[in-house]
A = this chain, B = another copy of it.
Amino acid sequence: MNFREEYNKKLTLVEDALKRIMEGYSACPPTIYKAVKYSLFAGGKRIRPVLLLTAHEMVDGDIEESMDLACGLEMIHTYSLIHDDLPAMDDDDMRRGIPTNHKVFGEGIAVLAGDSLLNMAYEVFLKNSLRYPDKIMNHIRAVSIIANAAGVHGMIAGQVVDLEMEGKPAQPEILHYIHTHKTGAMIEASLKAGLALEDAEQRAYDAISEYGKRLGLAFQIVDDILDVTGDAESMGKTPKSDEARHKVTFASVYGLEESRRMAEQLVEEAVSQLDYFGNKADFLKEIAYYTLRRRV
């Protein structure tokens, strides 16, 4: 299987699992059910779930056991996008080529759809962990890693600083803070949670953390570059996006060429952290290189 085939195989497993999970919620009020599904199935790359499944496989785990954790990760990611797009936050009308959640369902339902997805992730995590009584400590450790990364010490910290810096002069260290928290924390947690399901060695955690930190940052830099180089349009972002609102981005602070060079260096560094895992890490290495090739 080449990289693309293996990625798509995992992507399909995640899509199927998310659909199965959502069927369990079909009795909830129709409006919120529709609003949640609208954003959850809006064509994301599912990078976080794929990273978790891959990390779990790498320490000889069975991905059937980690599938619900992977799905919950995507629910948390989707909630963060819905709330980020709200008028009081980034005020985006379009995402992934379709109108944002609040544009379709109204702001009130969009707030509740985000809340629903965040809470649902934990419902799914907890239910799943009860299915593995002999390994429940591992499962709860994995969920705890995700929870901490999603909170005020992780993703939300990045969102807060991002919100506060809007329209203010660009400062490289703040830009770094925003992205290592807003994007990086959850990417790193996805990988570490996969390891936590098995009794991985400390050296494995250290290696995957260093890989994750660099991958997360490279991923965000490429996002910033794509936003400027016009590929943004194919991402479905509206013209009033980042640049127009004077958001601090890597492209605006360092310029396109230097940003590109930084992303390439981060990916090389990320890949070199994975020696500990030998050829079991091949897929993670390819994911890192793919980050540089992607056009959306």
Across the interface, which residues of B come within 8 angstroms of A153, CB to CB? 25, 27-28
Interface range, A side: 35 or more
Instruction: Give the interface SS of chain A, mostly helix, strand, loop or mixed.
Output: helix
**Contact between B140 and A126, CB atoms less than 8 A apart:** yes
In the complex, whether A129 has a CB less than 8 A from a CB of chain B is yes
**Contact between A28 and B119, CB atoms less than 8 A apart:** no
Once the chains are docked, how many angstroms separate the CA of A187 from the CA of B87? 33
Q: Which of A101-109, A226-234, A263-271 faces chain B? A: A101-109
A39 to chain B, nearest CB (A): 14
**Contact between B164 and A147, CB atoms less than 8 A apart:** no
Once the chains are docked, how many angstroms separate the CA of A275 from the CA of B126? 32
Q: Which positions in A face B, CB cutoff 8 Å?
A: 25, 27-29, 31-33, 36, 79, 83, 86-89, 106-112, 114-116, 118-120, 122-123, 126-127, 129-130, 133, 136-137, 140-141, 143-144, 147-148, 150-153, 156-157, 159-161, 163-164
Give 30 A-B contacts (CB < 8 Å), ordered by A residue.
Answer: A25-B152, A25-B153, A28-B153, A28-B156, A29-B152, A29-B157, A29-B161, A31-B160, A32-B152, A32-B156, A32-B157, A32-B160, A83-B111, A86-B107, A88-B106, A88-B107, A88-B111, A108-B163, A109-B160, A112-B163, A115-B115, A115-B156, A119-B150, A119-B156, A126-B140, A129-B140, A130-B140, A130-B141, A133-B137, A136-B136
